[in-house]
């Protein structure tokens, strides 16, 4: 069984989630849990070459590349990710703020750490300018 939060799996997953940043998307936060990932980002309409960007292409790329890296590290073959992903459209700044908070607090809620800063699978761009008021 895969554990995405193992140190040797964590690095390739982090690198993969950060790969398209500034080219096809803007990363806000992610949390790599043992068996799933929470990822908050803004998808660009067009990439750095002015071509349309599609969510399914990003997801396929991230899953394919990270699965290959993990399988190589664990000397195995087979699926790492579920086919399905559950995505939510962020409606406003308040929703974005709460999505980031939920993402970064996931390991605390799961009882894996007491402080979210202690979870090695957490990453945030530090969106300090977000407001929770309407």
Give the CA-trace dihedral at 39, 41, 46, 47, to 10 degrees.
-70
The confidence score (pLDDT) of residue 13 equals: 92
The confidence score (pLDDT) of residue 86 equals: 83
The confidence score (pLDDT) of residue 133 equals: 45
Neighbours of 55 (CB within 10 A): 13
Q: What is the full per-residue pLDDT of the chain (134 aa) written as tens digits?
A: 568 888 888 998 999 999 999 999 999 999 999 989 999 999 999 998 999 999 999 999 999 999 898 888 888 888 888 777 788 889 999 999 999 999 999 999 999 999 999 999 999 997 655 554 44
Neighbours of 126 (CB within 10 A): 8
The confidence score (pLDDT) of residue 23 equals: 94
The confidence score (pLDDT) of residue 1 equals: 57
Give the pair of three-digit tokens for residue 112: 């894996």
The confidence score (pLDDT) of residue 130 equals: 53
Q: Which of 131, 125, 124, 128 is nearest to 94 (CA)?
A: 131
Q: Residue ranges of the alpha helices (H) in the chain?
A: 7-19, 55-73, 93-109
DSSP reduced 3-state for 74: coil
Residues 6+ apart with CB under 8 A from 109: none
């Amino acid at each position: 069984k895969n554990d995405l939060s193992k140190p040797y799996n964590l690095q390739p997953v982090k690198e993969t989630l950060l790969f398209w940043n500034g080219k096809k998307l803007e990363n806000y936060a992610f949390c790599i849990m043992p068996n799933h990932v929470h990822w908050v980002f803004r998808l660009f309409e067009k990439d750095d070459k002015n071509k349309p960007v599609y969510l399914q292409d990003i997801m396929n790329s991230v899953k394919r590349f990270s699965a290959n890296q993990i399988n190589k590290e664990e000397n195995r073959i087979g699926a790492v990710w579920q086919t399905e992903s559950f995505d939510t459209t962020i409606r406003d700044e308040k929703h974005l703020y709460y999505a980031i908070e939920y993402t970064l607090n996931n390991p605390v809620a799961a009882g894996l750490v007491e402080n979210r800063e202690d979870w090695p699978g957490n990453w945030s761009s530090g969106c300090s300018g977000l407001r929770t008021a309407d």
